[in-house]
Structure 1
Amino acid sequence: MNQHPFSLLELNALVKRSLEQCLPDEYWVQAELSDVRSNATGHCYLELIQKDPRSNNLIAKARGNIWNNVYRLLKPYFEEATGQLFTSGIKVLIKVTVQFHELYGYSLTVQDIDPTYTLGDMARRRREILLQLSQEGVLTLNKELELPELPQRIAVISSATAAGYGDFCHQLQNNPYRFFFYTELFPALMQGSQVEESVLAALDRINARIADFDMVVIIRGGGATSDLSGFDTYLLAASCAQFPLPIITGIGHERDETVLDSVAHTRVKTPTAAAELLINLMHETAVRLADLATQLEQRTLARLEFERRKLSTSQSRISSSVGLCLSDAHYALLTVGKELKRASITLLSHQKHRLELLQQRVSDASPDKLLSRGYSITLKEGKVVTDSSQLRAGDELTTRLYKGEVTSIINHKPLK
């Protein structure tokens, strides 16, 4: 046992020399960033941690720092290469040197970073989110919605001050076909740590008025590629995948595709491209309507021509039929006329014979005929006497004979 006790400073100095001798080189270390902070001097202070993959409990931790001369180069390089903010919660592969300070203790000084490791981890996380959504059966739900033929009522999720939002509205308002679009902005933060919460809140507001809109457009413009990490979350992706209206995203660049892009109905590169998509959808519908109008006009004219020819044919047939009918009717009338004439002659002959018979009967029954046979007619005051009781003595009677008349006076009342 050392008889001379160490002061704490001496012991820490010994530890420092020992570490410098045992770990003199630079080492590549895999870790997760935690509590990343930078100060006015430009230095970055952070905590490096490792978690148990099963329990998610901390199993290792170390302080870290990145001095200003390294941090001002390392941070933009990492964010440009990965599209990910250099912030807490990401996994990194960093080159460090082991430091021990008598006052501040053990720490790791970051010298370099390998962005490909973080890219791999980000890609893995994206794959895991997409796999989870697929297993839940919601991954392609929004893609399966039919795009409206007339997408004129657009709910826009963006930052009110974003240049991309202005470009989007300008493109719609100045479209070459003069189509009308109604757009309503639902403001949201499109960068930073609150992207997920802000966009979800905007989606909730749109969903509360779902009948007012045809589509949803999520756009950002002018932001750094490193701000795209907010669109790689499970909750945001799940909400968009199950949203009842088709969603168009224009939040990144050509080479950057977020989880949100993967679940949205249609992904375009920029806000301007999103506007062009809507204009093209309207134009395609307008072209189809024009084609239908042309087809309708052509078919109507063809049908009218067909009916005109049909009417003309019917007219010719009617003319021929009328002539034939008139001819038949004329012949029938002639035939009926002849039959009527014959019937009339027969009827007249029959009636004449009847009249002759009646005339003979009348002639046979006439007074003159009777008088010629020896009968006479007695008249009193011009009236025929048929009953002797009608006569009185003194009455003057006229007896008409066949030839001539005799006048007599009654002397005695006739006997009954």
Structure 2
Amino acid sequence: MNKPLTLYELNIQIRDIIEETMSESYWVQAELSDVRENNGHCYMELIQKDERSNTPIAKARASCWRNTWMLIRPYFERVTGQTMHSGMKVLLQVHAQFHENFGFSWIIEDINPEFTIGDMARKRLEIIRQLKEEGVYDLQKELHIPMFAQHIAVISSETAAGYGDFCDQLINNDFGFHFATRLYPAIMQGEGVEQSVISALNRINEDIEQGVAIDVVVIIRGGGATSDLSGFDTLELAENVANFPIPIITGIGHERDESVLDMISHTRVKTPTAAAALLIENLMEVWQTVQSLEDRITSVVSDRIKREYQQLEHFSKTIPLQFAMLQQKNQFQLDTITNNLRPLLKRYMMQESHQLEMLGQRIKALDPQVLLLRGYSITLHDGKAVRDVKKLKSGDEIETRVAYGTIKSIVK
């Protein structure tokens, strides 16, 4: 029996063999099961799964030293728009290394971002295909944002700058519209996005079932990097949004980025402030429609009343002449006609009076005072409604009418 080797001696031999027989670099496809950084170095756990059973069939460790990682990471994130995370498919250029103390590891020399982009695109297309097969891809598009959408549920990070911008835009809108926002905090970047946003949607749904007034949901994310958008490209989150009972507006990305969540939502805008502008514009269009209908109804009712009075005046002149002619011919016929005409005239007058009363009720329902009782206000200058702040100047006196009183102000 040969003299036994020490473990150190054996590992030295393995190291030498690997260095002699595997001195080349290799491009290898793998899935990341874990990624972590330490002291500027990056350590990855690589895995390959069986395509049919999804069970692991190969595992390995890979390391990227600081001097290489500092160059690879920014380029990869800039091209793919994402950070490396578990579940991502990557194409790595590696060479083998065996250390007598730390064992075997693949040393990363380069990473091909185009390969990952292709895999991300394939995953996104697969999610979209599955949503269409389930018949839910267009469900949100079939919903309608309510005319008076003023109760807004917001899913966002409480400390995000985008959330503050969104609220400021609604509060300080040029038309004085009132919006009631309710925040449902959620993680908006990193691996916890999916479950956090789903949890927020569930809380909103519970509140709706409890009778809380919510007209629309807004999912906003401002100030984050495009590399944090991967959490919005998941099947489970897309299914939850697609099946949600009220419209969802998203403002989570930037101009060139569109996630699966954007595609499945009711309306996608670029930024949180754009989401606020959309809600303000919706209410402004409703207000203009109400004003237009008020003017039309007032005009129609006025014309109808005028015609009715003209007809009554005509009848008042015609009936005495008819009576005079009938008296000349036959008093009996006159009495008969008079007895028949009076009930008809009375019934006609009652019908016309009822129609006038109904028209009066419609006018009353459209009385601006009713809108004031709902929380709106009207600002007047020289007795005329202010629709454009540019027409006011410093020192002008304005009058703001609310439901229970009038406020006079001086423009500064």
TM-score range, shorter chain: 0.7 to 0.9
Residue type of the alignment partner of 2:62:
G
Distance 1:28 1:159 in 2: 40
Q: Work out the CA distance in 2 between the residues paired with 1:327 and 1:209.
A: 81
Cα separation, partners in 2 of 1:331 and 1:110, compared to 1, 3 Å = closer
Find 1:99's aligned residue among 97, 100, 106: 97
Task: Give the aligned residue type for 1:32.
Answer: E
Q: Matches of 2:282 and 2:82 in 1, distance apart?
A: 34
Aligned equivalents of 1:96 and 1:290: distance in 2? 70
Aligned 1:167-186 pairs, distance under 5 A: 167-186=165-184
Which residue of 2 is the match for residue 388 of structure 1? none
Q: Residue 142 of structure 2 aligns to a residue in which SS?
A: coil
RMSD of aligned C-alpha atoms? 2.4
Q: What's the counterpart of residue 27 of structure 2?
A: 28
Aligned-partner residue type, residue 226 of structure 1: S
> Which residue matches 1:318?
319
Matched, 1:115 2:116: no
Please name the residue that 2:187 is paired with. Answer: 189
CA contact (8 A) 2:162 2:223 kept: yes
Q: Aligned residues, how many?
A: 331
Structure 2 match to 1:52: 50
Please state whether the residue corresponding to 2:53 is helix, strand or coil: coil
Q: Is the 8 A contact 2:32 2:89 kept in 1?
A: yes
Asked if 1:238 is matched to 2:239, the reply is yes
1:202 aligns with 2:203: no
Instruction: Indicate the residue corresponding to 1:301 in structure 2.
Output: 302
Shift of 1:9: 4.2
Q: Within 2, Cα distance between the matches of 1:332 and 1:282?
A: 65
Match of 1:78 among 59, 76, 79: 76
Structure 1: unaligned runs, 5 residues or longer = 334-416
Normalised by the size of structure 1, how large is the TM-score? Answer: 0.74
Residue aligning to 2:405: none
Q: Tell me the equivalent position of 1:362.
A: none
| Distance in 2, Cα, partners of 1:74 & 1:316 | 99
How far is 1:323 from its partner? 4.2
1:236: Cα distance to partner?
Answer: 1.5
Q: Which entry has the higher C-alpha Rg, 1 or 2?
A: 1
Give 2:34's aligned amino acid.
D
Q: Distance in 1 between matches of 2:170 and 2:222?
A: 16
Query: What is the CA distance between 1:14 and its match in structure 2?
Result: 4.1
Instruction: Establish whether residue 261 from structure 1 lines up as the match of residue 262 from structure 2.
Output: yes
Give the structure 2 partner of residue 397 of structure 1: none
Percentage of pairs with the same residue: 54
Structure 2: distance between partners of 1:201 and 1:264: 17
> CA separation of 1:332/1:178 partners in 2, compared to 1, >3 Å: closer, same or farther?
closer
More displaced stretch, 266-275 vs 113-122? 113-122
Partner residue in 2 for 1:152: 150
Higher mean alpha-carbon deviation, 69-78 vs 4-13, is at 4-13
1:331 positional shift? 12
Q: What residue number does 2:40 align with?
A: 42
Cα 1:299–1:141 shift into 2, 3 Å: same
* Distance apart, 1:330 and its partner CA: 8.8
Q: Hey, what's the Cα distance between the residues in 1 that align with 2:333 and 2:293?
A: 57
CA–CA distance in structure 1, aligned partners of residues 275 and 215 of structure 2: 14
Is the deviation greater in 88-97 or in 18-27? 18-27
Find the counterpart in structure 1 of residue 128 from structure 2: 130
SS at structure 1 position matched to 2:110: strand
The answer to which of 297-306 and 62-71 deviates more is 297-306
Letter aligned with residue 40 of structure 2: G
What CA deviation, in whole Å up to 9, does each residue of 1:86-117 have, x standing for no partner? 12221111222222223323221112222221
The range that moved more, 11-20 or 91-100, is: 11-20
**Which residue in 1 is equivalent to 2:291?**
290
CA distance in 1, matches of 2:67, 2:317: 103
Q: 1:10 to 1:291 in 2, by over 3 A?
A: same
* Residue 327 of structure 1, CA deviation: 4.6
AA in 2 matched with 1:75: R
Q: CA deviation at 1:215?
A: 0.9
The CA deviation string for residues 132-184 of structure 1, in whole angstroms up to 9 with x for no partner, is 22222222222211221110111111111110000101111111111111111
Q: Aligned partners of 2:265 and 2:328: how far apart in 1?
A: 81
Q: What is aligned with 1:141?
A: 139
* More divergent stretch after superposition (311-320 vs 245-254): 311-320
| Contact residue 326 and residue 333 of structure 2 kept, 8 A | no
2:53 maps to amino acid: S
5 Å-filtered alignment, 1:160-171, equals: 160-171=158-169
* Whole-angstrom distance in 1 between the partners of 2:111 and 2:286: 52
Query: What is the alpha-carbon distance in structure 2 between the residues aligned to residue 205 and residue 5 of structure 1?
Result: 66
- CA 1:152–1:331 in structure 2 vs 1: closer, same or farther (change >3 Å)? closer
**Following the alignment from structure 1 to structure 2, what is the Cα–Cα distance between the partners of residues 27 and 332?**
119
Within 2, Cα distance between the matches of 1:19 and 1:267? 54
Secondary structure of the equivalent of 2:29? strand
